[in-house]
Amino acid sequence: MAIIEIILLLVTLVVISNVLSHYIVAIPGSLIQITLGIVIALLFKIKIEVTTDWFMLLFIAPILFFDGSRFPKKELWAMKKPIIANSIFLVILSTILVGMIIHWLVPNMPLATSFALAGILAPTDPIAVQSISKKAKLPSNLMHLVSGESLINDASGLICFKYGVAATVSGYFSLKDASIEFFYIAIVGAIIGLILMWLIDVLELFIYQQGIDDITLHTILRVVTPFLIYFIAEELFHASGVVAVVVAGVLKVGTNNKKFSVYSSELQVVVTKTWDLVVYLLNGVVFIILGIELPQAMRSIVISDHSTMLAIGYAVVVWLSILAVRTLWSYVYDLFSRKTRASFQKAILSGLSGVRGAVTMIGVLSIPLVIDSGEPFPRRTMVLFIASGVIILSLLAATILIPLIANNTTPLHYRGSALEEDENEENCDYITQEDAEIYITKVAIQYLESHRRVENQQVVLDLISEYEKQLAAYEISRQSLSTSSFVPELLKQSIVLHTVTLKAEMQTLQDLHEQKEISDEIFEYEKDKLEHILHRLNETLDYQSVSLLTLITNSWRINYRKLKRYLGLESKKHRELMHDAQDYERILAKSAIKELSKYLKETDAEYSQNVIYQVVTSYRRRIEKLKHADEKRSEDYEEQLTILRTSVLAEQRVSIQDLFEQGRLSRKTASNIRTKINYTENSMNIELEE
């Protein structure tokens, strides 16, 4: 089948499988994909020639890079010892113990071949245990352990497999050479991943600073990064490309993201969505290919003279052996660990969660047909059948037994079953999206205050006023949900403080009129305006007694006044009166601030600092605006406004990244807030272009 037809077929099957998974919710999407692959292989005799090298490059490298970039660094570092123990020592132990069991169990299978089979069965295919954790309340360290070890154990398992096959083919094995190569490819692979990721980050930042801000270009560069790193590590340095891409992926979280959050608003969203699409397809294709290859791997045993039931028995015993080794390892490790308490239930869950998958399948399919002597590779068909059986059994056992043992009713989802949900969304350490948005709004206000100068005071106060309104809306909305009162407490506080300031303005206005410093017309104009505002505040406090007719009348009066102003229908005398009144409004505003300060010192009532700040800021903004009442918005004002808005948004992105790296914010919530920030900036840019 032509390569284009194969690609179209695989993508179509991925789409079909995920549509089916929405209706057949009891079965993981990955098992549906494997089933579709088996059906296609049997019905249409489809075969895909798979080699380990290109499969690891095209599929495993980007998927592990993506997993590494999404893995929380704090948990990875906190669990470094058990992750390393499981991904290296458990793999080696499983290879030795299970290899000896296979050699004893299967007649005529050489010890080297048995070790090769056990080695390729040792690494786990990462299972997304988030669906279990939501209802089963599994310990978080178990979830992170399974995910963390799966990032690294592919490398150690493939090394064990490689030397087992080499020993079978050549008849020679050197423990010294194997140990030296193991540490070489692991350490050098990690170093290469670190250096190359740093160089790519520096290059990407340099390109961006040169003015080359093509989002498509930068997105492509980020997508090809794991392929480049894997290829260079494997081909040029003969080190572990798996370790290299995992290290690069983990480093990707803390290097480039924060820098680019300052320079680009759109890049993060585009890259995230592109990676979601790429990994979505790759994950699905991996399981489809696994399903297509399973009949090929099992066909030889089924059609040969061997007993199929006996071969199935071998597969069951091998899987039980792997499960037993992993379970006992987990229990003993926890038994001697000071940080965790040993639990046999947890150990069984850890054993069941070690699902075998595509890497195992592709590895055994790469076994050569003949050895150096020209004879057929010993028991190759049995190796393929046992590996296939273990893959199926591990998938089915995890699907059926984990929910039962963990008392979980949520169906399991494996990596590749759908676009992955955010991990640990119900983590009690995470703050909500509303809390995060309140936090970054306060960050914006603090940033603006720290950058307020004489020359930009009006712009800063205008922006602070906007963010104060947002903050007030968040907090009032939250109080509205938590109380049955028509008027939330914060809004009541705001009304009380505004009432204090308005009465102070009224008194000052009265004093000015008595001292003959303002005309009767200005006095009546300002008095009517203040009385109207006070009346509206009282209506708000007594919302339940306000009639529908009053609400309609007030709304019509406000909109009618705005319409007259917009159409320029106000009388010349009225406009002159408004202009003359501006000279005295600054005096009224200053008296309001002074009276508010006096009131807060004398009262025993407690008021929210945010409410106080909002009231004071509204008057400061009013004073600053009155200073420049006769001036139109200058180009300098607009330029300052644009620069400050952009800087504030960049500061908010950095604060969101900080929250995420501190483990206070989930990935999904962080992505949602970044998207809102980016949309805000894009809208601002569109307005500037118009």
Please give the domain boundaries of the chain with CATH numbers for all domains: 3-405 (1.20.1530.20), 433-689 (no CATH)
- Residue among 386, 368, 323, 331 nearest 103 (CA): 386
Instruction: Tell me: pLDDT of 219 over 80.
Output: yes
Distance, CA of 229 to CA of 181 (rounded, Å)? 19
Give me the residues paired with residue 370 across strands. 376
pLDDT at 683: 53
The per-residue pLDDT of the chain, averaged, comes to 76
pLDDT per residue as tens digits for the range 131-187: 334 444 455 666 677 777 777 777 778 778 888 888 888 877 777 777 888 888 889
Instruction: Tell me: pLDDT of 13 over 80.
Output: yes
- Helix 215-231 to helix 241-254 angle (10° resolution) is 140
- Residue among 186, 195, 75 nearest 139 (CA): 75
Mean pLDDT of 311-340: 87
The angle subtended at Cα 81 by Cα 76 and Cα 86, nearest 5°, is 95
Report which of residues 225 and 545 the model is more confident about: 225
DSSP-H helix ranges across 210-307: 215-231, 241-254, 256-263, 267-303
For the ranges 65-74, 100-109, 197-206, 363-372, the lowest mean pLDDT is seen at 65-74
Q: Coil, strand, or helix at residue 330?
A: helix
For the ranges 181-190, 405-414, 673-682, the lowest mean pLDDT is seen at 405-414
Mean pLDDT of 593-612: 81
Distance, CA of 3 to CA of 46 (rounded, Å)? 12
Confidence of residue 49 (pLDDT cuts 50, 70, 90): confident
Confidence of residue 104 (pLDDT cuts 50, 70, 90): very high
Mean pLDDT of 326-350: 81
Mean pLDDT of 308-323: 90
- Percentage above 90 pLDDT, the chain: 10
pLDDT at 29: 75
The answer to whether 507 touches 527, Cβ cutoff 8 Å, is no
Distance, CA of 338 to CA of 334 (rounded, Å)? 8
- Residue among 261, 146, 76 nearest 663 (CA): 76
Instruction: Tell me: pLDDT of 545 over 90.
Output: no
Burial class for 166, CB neighbours closer than 10 Å (0-12, 13-18, 19+): middle
Q: Scanning the structure block, which residue is given the tokens 């793999």?
A: 91
Instruction: Tell me: pLDDT of 646 over 60.
Output: yes
pLDDT at 570: 52
pLDDT per residue as tens digits for the range 420-449: 444 444 455 678 888 888 888 888 888 888
Confidence of residue 568 (pLDDT cuts 50, 70, 90): low
Confidence of residue 628 (pLDDT cuts 50, 70, 90): low
pLDDT at 607: 80
The answer to whether 661 touches 73, Cβ cutoff 8 Å, is yes
Task: Tell me the pTM.
Answer: 0.61
Instruction: Tell me: pLDDT of 596 over 60.
Output: yes
Distance, CA of 181 to CA of 202 (rounded, Å)? 31
Q: Coil, strand, or helix at residue 12?
A: helix
Most trustworthy range by pLDDT among 88-92, 190-194, 475-479? 190-194
Distance, CA of 233 to CA of 240 (rounded, Å)? 6
For the ranges 99-113, 573-587, 658-672, the lowest mean pLDDT is seen at 573-587
pLDDT per residue as tens digits for the range 449-479: 888 777 777 788 878 877 877 777 776 666 5
